[in-house]
């Protein structure tokens, strides 16, 4: 049970789109670990990796919203906080064998698609028409697609 990256999930911001792709990749990694019956420790490490990357992504996304003066940054940040609380509760239940890693994966897959397609799309639409541009906007494409060519 995992999601595939779909073009419709792209928002048009290279940095955020790349981070969303990595989140999908990590969900797939967790799915693979579950399906191949990896050890509980391996699954825990993947969950930690996914959690830490998601926290990093949320900070990046919130910085972007501040940079472009997105008017609903507080509401969006609250959604991020709520997700991390739900994530932590599910991980605690998994560690006490009251939930399964599959339940976390299902939750994250559903949440990721819904959040990107609805909430993050609002940011993308605002950014397209915002006079304020994200810091380093032109650098994202260069670094993400071609690396640093300066010597």
Confidence of residue 14 (pLDDT cuts 50, 70, 90): confident
**pLDDT tens, residue by residue, 42-63:** 999 999 999 999 999 999 999 9
Instruction: Note whether 23 and 57 are within 8 A (CB).
Output: yes
Q: What whole-number distance in Å separates Cα of residue 50 and Cα of residue 43?
A: 10
SS3 label, residue 41: helix
pLDDT of res. 110: 87
Closest CA to 130 of 58, 73, 56, 55: 73
Q: Which tokens go with 77?
A: 């940040």
pLDDT in tens, 78-114: 999 999 999 999 999 998 888 889 998 899 888 888 8
Question: pLDDT at position 148, please?
Answer: 64
Give the residue ranges of DSSP H helices in the chain.
14-35, 40-67, 73-95, 101-114, 121-129, 137-141
- The Cα 138–Cα 31 span in angstroms is 34
Give the predicted TM-score (pTM) of the model.
0.87
């Amino acid at each position: 049970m995992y999601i595939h990256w779909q073009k419709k999930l792209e928002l048009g911001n290279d940095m955020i789109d790349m981070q969303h792709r990595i989140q999908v990749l990590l969900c797939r990694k967790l799915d693979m670990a579950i399906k191949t019956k990896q050890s509980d420790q391996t699954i825990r490490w993947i969950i930690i990796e996914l959690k830490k990357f998601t926290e990093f992504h949320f900070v990046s996304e919130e910085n972007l919203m501040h940079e472009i003066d997105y008017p609903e940054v507080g509401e969006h940040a609250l959604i991020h906080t709520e997700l991390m609380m739900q994530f932590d509760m599910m991980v605690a239940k998994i560690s006490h064998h009251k939930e399964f890693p599959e339940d976390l994966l299902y939750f994250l897959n559903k949440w990721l698609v819904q959040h990107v397609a609805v909430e993050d799309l609002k940011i993308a639409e605002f950014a397209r028409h915002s006079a304020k541009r994200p810091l380093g906007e032109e650098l994202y494409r260069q670094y993400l697609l071609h690396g640093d060519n300066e010597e």
